[in-house]
Amino acid sequence: MPYATVVEPIRSCAIKTPGMAESADAKNPGMTLANARLRLLVLASTLTLGACSVLVERATDRMSDNLSNAILNQNDPETVRDGAPAYLLLMDSLVEGNPESVGTLSGAANLYAAYGSVFVDDDARAKRLTQRSFDYGSRAICVQHEPACGWSELSFDEFDAALTKVGERDIEALYAYSVSWLAFTRAHTDDWEVLADLPKVEAVLNRLYELDQDFDGGNIDLYLGILNSIRPPALGGNPEVGRQYFERAIELTGGRDLSVKVEFARTYARLVYDRELHDRLLGEVLAADPDVPGLTLFNVLAQRQAEILLASADDYF
């Protein structure tokens, strides 16, 4: 399926950074922002380390593609988890060597978001890693779109207006910024100042949707579905709009990405207390074959989460 790819040739370096991975956190079913579709494809994308010639660049691209496929088709998430930290250090070194590369910064933001949200159980460590992710994501959009350097100081209305100045050429950096912000928020659910910025996160996703609603094969629909479903209407949520986004994400992925149905059940169905929909979605996840090229890793994680959610359904409903 189509994953976002950022290619940023800067002098002699080119960093190729396709999308992100997913997982889910049953310990906190009400706040699953960055769990959804934080693509582990980025782990492999960091291997495109740059080239001084076209031939070397093509060779590293092939190596990156091969490793990407190996990761995405891995049915043992622990293997991926244990191998990922080396690439965190690798991305740090690449940023040090090329701090103005939007591609490098976006790749670092994506990788730290994925690892910090999916594979780290310690809260303090998750906060540190996702803080670094958000720092990289903020730097990426700042380098790509200079006015974004001052976005953190803006009110919501000012921020929302500023987003209209972002165009299609900025979409990859804006996407990395949004995903890193989602991961950061997910790790800081105990910080009300962070949660107060959720409307800004949603505004970024809405702008991405305006620029290209099919970007990254349904990820934006999924994120918007979650954001509209994790809050009741009195707190700014719109569950029925969220349901529409979830249904479109299922349509775009052909129902093969099981994480979409898990998030649909976890956020929307639980919010509106629709036990029938909840159990049906999770039953479909468990009955499905997880071995789908490019989605096996995501689907194994989704099935694990579906089992946990179903086991807790009697207590919840």
The pLDDT tens digits of the residues spanning 5-28 come to 222 222 223 333 333 334 334 444
Q: Predicted confidence band at 286 (pLDDT cuts at 50, 70, 90)?
A: very high
Return the residue matching tokens 């995405």.
Answer: 72
Contact call for residues 120 and 85 (beta carbons, < 8 A):
no
- Determine how many CB atoms are found less than 10 A away from the CB of residue 164: 9
Per the model's pLDDT, the better-predicted residue between 29 and 145 turns out to be 145
| Averaged confidence pLDDT in the chain | 81
Range of the domain at 118: 5-316
Return the residue matching tokens 């962070």.
Answer: 194
> Cα separation of 226 and 178, whole Å?
14
Return the residue matching tokens 């988890």.
Answer: 81
At 230-285, the pLDDT tens digits run 877 877 789 999 999 999 999 999 999 999 999 999 999 999 999 999 999 999 99
Alpha helices in the chain (DSSP H): 41-45, 54-72, 77-83, 85-97, 102-118, 123-144, 156-163, 171-187, 192-195, 198-211, 219-229, 239-253, 258-263, 270-271, 275-287, 296-311, 313-316
Most confident of 27-41, 42-56, 174-188, 225-239: 174-188
- Specify the pLDDT at position 104: 87
pLDDT over 80 (residue 106): yes
At 63-78, the pLDDT tens digits run 445 555 677 777 888 8
Contact call for residues 147 and 104 (beta carbons, < 8 A):
no
Output the domain CATH number for residue 100: 1.25.40.920
Question: Which long-range contacts does 56-62 make (Cβ < 8 Å, 24+ apart)?
Answer: 57/14, 61/16
pLDDT over 50 (residue 42): no
Burial 297-311 (b: 16+ CB within 10 A, else e): bbbbbbbbbbebbbe
- Determine how many CB atoms are found less than 10 A away from the CB of residue 78: 9
pLDDT over 50 (residue 309): yes
Provide the token pair at 3: 């994953």
**How many domains are there within the chain?**
1
Q: What percent of the chain has pLDDT over 70?
A: 78
> Cα separation of 115 and 237, whole Å?
28
- Specify the pLDDT at position 230: 84
- Specify the pLDDT at position 22: 40
- Specify the pLDDT at position 58: 52
Cα torsion 232, 236, 240, 243: sign:
negative
At 151-196, the pLDDT tens digits run 999 999 999 999 999 999 999 999 999 999 999 998 998 999 998 8
User: Is 306 strand, coil or helix?
Assistant: helix
Provide the token pair at 237: 């949520």
Q: Is the pTM of this model over 0.95?
A: no
